[in-house]
Amino acid sequence: MSAQPVERWAVASLVAARVVYAVNWLNIGALFYLMSSDLNSGVSGLGTLTSSFYLGVGLMQVPGGVLAAKWGPKNTVTTGMLVSSLAVLATSVSTSLPEVVVLRFIVGSGMALVFSPAVVLATRFLGGRSGVGAGLINSAFDVGGLLGLFGWILIASVTGWRPSLVLSGGLGLLTGLLIIALVPRDQRDNRFTLSTDRLRRILRNRNLVLLGLAALGSNMGSVLISSFMVFYLQSDLGEVAATAGFVASLVVILPIITSLWGGRLYDRLKKPRRLLVTSGLGMVAALIACSVPTLYAASLGAFVGGIAVGPASTVAFAAAKDLSGVEREYESLTIGWVNCISLTGSVWPPIIFSYLARSSSYSAAWLGGAGLSLIFLIPIFLLTERASTTA
């Protein structure tokens, strides 16, 4: 078999894994209305589950990058898919909110091992094009997000939430096996040794920290819309499950296109600061729209949020690789560090959102999210659009 088909099959397996990964990332937000009676919980429970997941997926980003440097990206991606999928299967038989909280932390921790090594692998198989590699992996997430937010609520309405999680967890295990079979073995440099000094310099890299904060602003809006929109529309506005799931899925439908577009634009312009500011302002506008308590306003907010978040995440991760100037073994760590800042920072907005929704109103909660996203636009202006030294 020639190298070209091997690389195509490798990318296809990574894309398939990323799609199922996104289903298991987002379907809890869609299913929670069905789960809430079994778990005896409301919006505060959903906020706790969301925060627990983001704590796991955020804290394990840097260890995931270290593991990718030591084990190789293929081995790291495979481990993450298997761990997260097994935890999803365990969630399907959970009987209490504390059990699900712990399992969502494990799901997030496993998923933390997947993203940055997958971007590195896809970029290599696509000829080194950082923007296209990050854009493709992000678009695959958005396809999975559509399935998780809209498709899984339909499946669960027929089968129940527990069988729907058995299905998504089983698909996760299957895609992990596809990666084992189809992605070429990691090419390791036997002379490479993990340098703690280099790790410290990467973690102190100013550009990477700023990119992480920039990604947090847009990611925060996406987290709130994808996690709370379905429950909000059903519990507060009285919409049916299918309508609520479709509206929430708009925040992941649009990035299927805008992630790839943002990646290509980044590869052509190499102007991450301009692209990140534009995307960040779009997300602020989206959350303000959501604060108007109508189905139309919620749909508009999810639509605009979907347009905004695709380029933001793609540009941040592509720029992390390009602006760090590290050896290829450390590329996963640079992306993982940016993702760590973004995702760990996403732990507390769901708690604030659920508190505002419970103590005041959903309008106040959406406006609070808009204010937080606006604050995180400020660090983008300090970004230097050239490689900073980590050597």
Judge if pTM exceeds 0.85.
no
> Given a cut of 60, is residue 2 above it in pLDDT?
no
> Given a cut of 80, is residue 361 above it in pLDDT?
yes
pLDDT in tens, 117-161: 888 888 888 776 766 777 788 788 888 988 998 899 999 999 999
Q: Which residues contact 199 (CB under 8 A, 6 or more apart)?
A: 66, 333
Residue 204: the pLDDT is 85
Q: Which residues contact 254 (CB under 8 A, 6 or more apart)?
A: 142, 303, 306, 307, 310
> Distance between CA 44 and CA 355 in Å, rounded?
7
Whether the Cβ atoms of residue 219 and residue 313 lie closer than 8 Å to each other: yes
85: its two tokens: 């999928």
> Given a cut of 90, is residue 189 above it in pLDDT?
no
256: its two tokens: 């299927």
**Measuring CA to CA, which residue among 282, 54, 15, 22 is closest to residue 142?**
22
Whether the Cβ atoms of residue 22 and residue 143 lie closer than 8 Å to each other: yes
Residue 387: the pLDDT is 56
CATH 1.20.1250.20 assigned to domain 3-182+197-382? The reply is yes
Could you tell me the residue ranges of all domains in the chain?
3-182+197-382
161: its two tokens: 């939430």
Distance between the two ends of the chain, CA-based, in angstroms? Answer: 39
| Element spanning 162, H or E | helix 161-182
